[in-house]
Amino acid sequence: MRTLTEDQIAIGTVLPDLVIPLTPTMIISTALATMDFTAVHHDVEGARAQGSKDIFLNILTTMGLVERYVTDWAGPGALIRGINVRLGVPAYAGDTLTFTGTVVGHENGEFTVEVRGEVSLGDHATGTVRFSPPGE
Amino acid sequence: MTVTTDAALHERLMALAERRIAAGEVPGPAAADPVNLPMIRHWTDAMGDANPVYTDPEAAAASPHGGIVAPPAMIQVWTMPGVNRKAGQRPTPVDDVLAMLNDEGGYTGVVATNCEQTYHRYVRPGERLFPATRLTGLAGPKRTALGEGYFVTWNVTWYSGDEAVAEMLFRVLKFRPRKPEGPVGDGNAQDGAGREDTRDRTGENAQDGAGENGRDRTRGRAPYPLRPAINGDTAFFWEGVARGELRIQRCGSCGELRHPPGPMCPSCRSTDRGYVVASGEGEVFSYVVHHNPPVPGRRTPFVVAVVQLPEGVRIVGNVVDCAPSEVGIGMPLRVTYRQMDDELTLPLWAPREA
Amino acid sequence: MSSLSGRTAVAGIGATEFSKQSGRSELRLAAEAVLAALDDAGLTPADVDGMVTYTQDTNQEIAVAREAGIGDLSFFSRVHYGGGAACGTVLHAAMAVATGVAETVVCYRAFNERSGRRFGQPDARIGGEPSSQGLEMSWHVPYGLMTPAAWVAMFARRYMHVYGVTSEDFGRVAVAMRRHAATNPAAWFHRRPITLREHQESKWIVEPLHLLDCCQESDGAVALVVTSAERARHLRRSPAVIKAAAQGSGAGQMMMTSYYRDDMTGLPEMGVVGRRLWEQARLGPADVQTAILYDHFTPFVLTQLEELGFCGRGEARDYVADGGIEIDGRLPVNPHGGQLGEAYIHGMNGIAEAVRQIRGTSVNQVAGVHNVLVTAGTGVPTSGLILSAD
């Protein structure tokens, strides 16, 4: 797997989309892998009892997927410095989460990528990821 | 649940928050396990994250890290409390502020609005992390799309020994759920927006798009992601589409029609090119109904057809304005133009009476 | 000009395990398969002086050579057009060996096609660049016609319409492949046969293709060692002689979307390959005892049977009926289970199975094998081989 170098990235570079089908397995396996045992992330009845239409993605997973979205593109050697996410509508089981992104900043060897994760209800997560390509 | 007057409650809330903010950082229990490969592997497997620096010792050794590192976004995982979350939990400075909002103010709904993480460095297997939490803000009451509420903000810092390795800002909105219908009974601020409420209300990690100002999110048309590449050989086609013309390349020398177009006539090798405008009629030569996997910018199922034009060439496009089950080979079609975003128009096909 | 026929041989085959998550880098998979193939041949990395792979492979020849401890290379080459490259790598290797450009050439294909980049997923980038391929894709991608299953389904629908073929006819191919894989321990679908009913009830991917019309996606690597037939006779294994090798592209050819030719029911590029193979080998369809037909999607297995002359146009549905391509049928196809059953290694695992059939060492050995036909990717410019016992 290649890692993008500083000269291969420019402000305005558009990241390839990442489409994630939100199967119940995806919702539940990620909730458990992030040690989040809240019922709304694995128990449909429990989720409905709390007013949700179905189980939905937990925030720790949203953060993980945003990170993956950037490193899938930037490559395994990219150093993630920070992730700022504004949380939107829930990402329910059965929906599809589509990430899009654009490089919007470049300063002192650090790039900022604007990321949007969208589901059928609207924006699930919007924000920025800061990363550095590997140094010399 | 006791609902006191809002003004008195607000004063008590702010006083409590002030004390908790002043108390600063409160250490929490150390992670149950040190950073470890099995949990990383479980996490990357579930996330579908194939980055080898997390799990492949050889690839990691060859990377800038020099060895296995944990995914930065896993930072919070290490100190999650587990299934029996009450056991062994220490109170954080946030707990009683949330409790007062919930129990005394009737702000029973909660949605997370922001999660901001900064990673000072990558952590490695063997490091045992512990968290420390400080309350940093309480703002409200504010009217939001979900109802009146307070924004509560706190920070968590994760330490490895004395070294801070990562930080997180987390913000939630604690709100009084709107009554679905009917008169305002309790004097709560109400949001008039009648949009369908598909949001979670009380789940601990629930989230919603309610901004701090409670304004509805509006945005321009999202760019359609499936864009054609266009060059000097094909621009005439897309310019035609933008004007509502279906243009077919016509050789300037021998007159042969051709689609898809190209720079040289395959029949007479002429590079003298023009076009004719097609009648706009056609019929289905072959077609598919796409169900899986999801396609960016498209709702499934959708129909794509190879369309035979009476001019003698074929073109690919979507069949719209009818159910996929109604499409069949030989079906008469007429071209229709759809604006996909502010820039791109596509020629699509609708059923035509034969 | 002297013919290529019979002058070279596949002397070694090697592979990693086939999985959904190798947990290793693609380069490591490539190096492991190359070493396994050399060991199978009784050769060492020091014997290798040539390497060929697919243009789509992410592992440069020099990188694989470095990892495997291969020294000087006098020949390296790549073959284009996705899985259409499979047998083409062997053709390039054979030409290099036959002309003295190299003595021992390794062909390889390695990828994490399941856990890494999946070809089955839409990629909005493929229509983005004004290269000749990007422009070609731009007549299709904007309409969401952008997955291999969809590209193939468009041909399949027309083929069904013209010849009265049904989804069940396609299903019989899947059932045969899964039957074969069920008794192949290396197959992902080992011990997991399917019924025609399960095929029919599997979800739609792109109508008219069900899920079980589509091959799985896999992680893994396969490598082959090509050397002169003469030298191969003195190595560890009995040689699989390269009786014929060919590439083919047709008039009006496109990458998976040749919808603008008069007829949409054939694979003219496979016709080119077939004619070249039969002529070069001086053999015909009746002379092969088993065939490895590229099966990323079921419909093109039927089309190939017709293009290669095993049956007439529109007759493949009858040819595959009643277990015709199963292990005990009139022409056993893909005894290893194919890409539908064993693994999707871009056709390279099929060539390895052909070699095993020639050696008589396959877990699903066909009796009395002397000649095996192998094909590569369908719907794209492609390639083929006829391998023969010495």
- Asked if B52 and A1 come within 8 Å (Cβ–Cβ), the reply is yes
Q: Residue B34 burial (CB < 10 Å; 0-12/13-18/19+)? A: middle
What local confidence, expressed as pLDDT, does residue B179 receive?
55
The yes-or-no answer on residue C344 being catalytic is yes
- Asked if C154 and B306 come within 8 Å (Cβ–Cβ), the reply is yes
Nearest to B294, CA basis, from C75, A95, A39: A95
Question: Which pLDDT band holds residue B98 (cuts at 50, 70, 90)?
Answer: very high
Mean pLDDT of the region C242-258: 96
Nearest CA in chain B to C214: B292
Q: Is the pLDDT of residue B316 over 50?
A: yes
- Give the number of beta-carbon pairs within 8 Å between A and B: 181
- Is some CB atom of chain B closer than 8 A to the CB atom of A84? yes
List of chain A residues whose C-beta atoms are within 8 Å of the C-beta of residue C21: none
Question: Which pLDDT band holds residue A49 (cuts at 50, 70, 90)?
Answer: confident
ipTM of the complex: 0.96
What local confidence, expressed as pLDDT, does residue B85 receive?
62
- Is some CB atom of chain B closer than 8 A to the CB atom of A58? yes
- Asked if B64 and A135 come within 8 Å (Cβ–Cβ), the reply is yes
What local confidence, expressed as pLDDT, does residue C130 receive?
81
As a whole number of angstroms, the distance between CA B148 and CA B141 comes to 6
Q: Is the peptide bond before C381 cis (omega within 30 degrees of 0)?
A: no
- Asked if C130 and B288 come within 8 Å (Cβ–Cβ), the reply is no
Contact between residue C338 and residue C329 where contact means Cβ atoms under 8 Å apart? no
Domains and CATH numbers, chain B: 6-29+82-175 (3.10.129.10), 227-277 (no CATH), 281-354 (2.40.50)
Smallest Cβ–Cβ distance between A19 and the set C26, C122, C125 belongs to C122
Q: Is the pLDDT of residue B207 over 50?
A: no
For residue C193, the 8-state DSSP code is: -
- Subunits with 3+ C-beta pairs closer than 8 A to A: B, C
Contact between residue C360 and residue C370 where contact means Cβ atoms under 8 Å apart? no
- Is some CB atom of chain C closer than 8 A to the CB atom of B297? yes
- Asked if A16 and C121 come within 8 Å (Cβ–Cβ), the reply is no
What local confidence, expressed as pLDDT, does residue B5 receive?
67
Nearest to C382, CA basis, from C82, C51, C76, C78: C82
Higher per-residue pLDDT: B216 or B66: B66
How would you classify the pairing of strands B129-144 and A14-21?
Answer: unpaired
pTM of the model: 0.63
Is CATH 3.90.960.10 the right assignment for the domain spanning A6-132?
no
How many Å lie between the alpha carbon of C304 and the closest alpha carbon of chain A?
Answer: 33
- Is some CB atom of chain C closer than 8 A to the CB atom of B252? no
Q: Is the pLDDT of residue C297 over 60?
A: yes
Write out pLDDT tens, residues B121-146.
999 999 999 999 999 999 988 888 77
Least confident of B93-102, B279-288, B299-308, C97-106: B93-102
What local confidence, expressed as pLDDT, does residue B86 receive?
58
Q: What are the φ and ψ backbone dihedral angles of A74, each rounded to 5 degrees?
A: -75, -25
Nearest CA in chain C to A15: C125
What local confidence, expressed as pLDDT, does residue C325 receive?
98
Domains and CATH numbers, chain C: 8-116+215-389 (3.40.47.10)
How many Å lie between the alpha carbon of B198 and the closest alpha carbon of chain A?
Answer: 7
**Following DSSP, what letter does each residue of C140-159 receive, concatenated?**
TGGGT--SHHHHHHHHHHHH
Angle at C114 between CA C112 and CA C120, to 5 degrees: 120
As a whole number of angstroms, the distance between CA C261 and CA B313 comes to 10
End-to-end CA distance of chain C: 23
Least confident of B19-28, C42-51, C272-281, C291-300: B19-28
- Is some CB atom of chain B closer than 8 A to the CB atom of C264? yes
Write out pLDDT tens, residues A14-45.
999 999 999 999 999 999 999 999 999 999 98
When the pLDDT of each residue in chain C is averaged and rounded to a whole number, the result is: 96
Write the CB contacts of C216 (distance below 8 Å, at least 6 apart in sequence).
Answer: C114, C188, C189, C339, C340, C343, C344
What local confidence, expressed as pLDDT, does residue B221 receive?
61
**CA dihedral defined by C112, C115, C119, C122, rounded to 10 degrees?**
-150
Probe site for chain A from C29, C125, C146 (most A CB atoms < 10 A): C125
- Subunits with 3+ C-beta pairs closer than 8 A to B: A, C
Write out pLDDT tens, residues C318-352.
999 999 999 999 999 999 999 999 999 999 999 99
Q: What percent of chain C has pLDDT over 90?
A: 94
For residue B104, the 8-state DSSP code is: I
Q: What percent of chain B has pLDDT over 70?
A: 84
Least confident of A66-70, B115-119, B204-208, C209-213: B204-208
Q: Residue C178 burial (CB < 10 Å; 0-12/13-18/19+)? A: buried
Q: From the candidates C54, C108, C294, C319, give the one annotated as an active-site residue.
A: C294
Q: Is the pLDDT of residue B264 over 60?
A: yes
C296: left (phi over 0), alpha (psi -120 to 50) or beta: alpha
Task: Return the structure tokens found at C228.
Answer: 């002169």
Nearest CA in chain B to A94: B294
Strands of the B147-160 sheet, one edge to the other: A14-21, A96-107, A110-119, A122-132, A79-87, B109-119, B163-175, B147-160, B129-144, B26-27
- Asked if A52 and B294 come within 8 Å (Cβ–Cβ), the reply is no
What local confidence, expressed as pLDDT, does residue B2 receive?
42
The yes-or-no answer on residue C294 being catalytic is yes
Q: What's the distance, CA C39 to chain centroid?
A: 23
Task: Return the structure tokens found at A68.
Answer: 């993956």
Question: Which pLDDT band holds residue A53 (cuts at 50, 70, 90)?
Answer: confident
Question: Which pLDDT band holds residue C118 (cuts at 50, 70, 90)?
Answer: confident
B255: left (phi over 0), alpha (psi -120 to 50) or beta: left
- Asked if B227 and C206 come within 8 Å (Cβ–Cβ), the reply is no
**In chain A, what are the domain boundaries?**
6-132
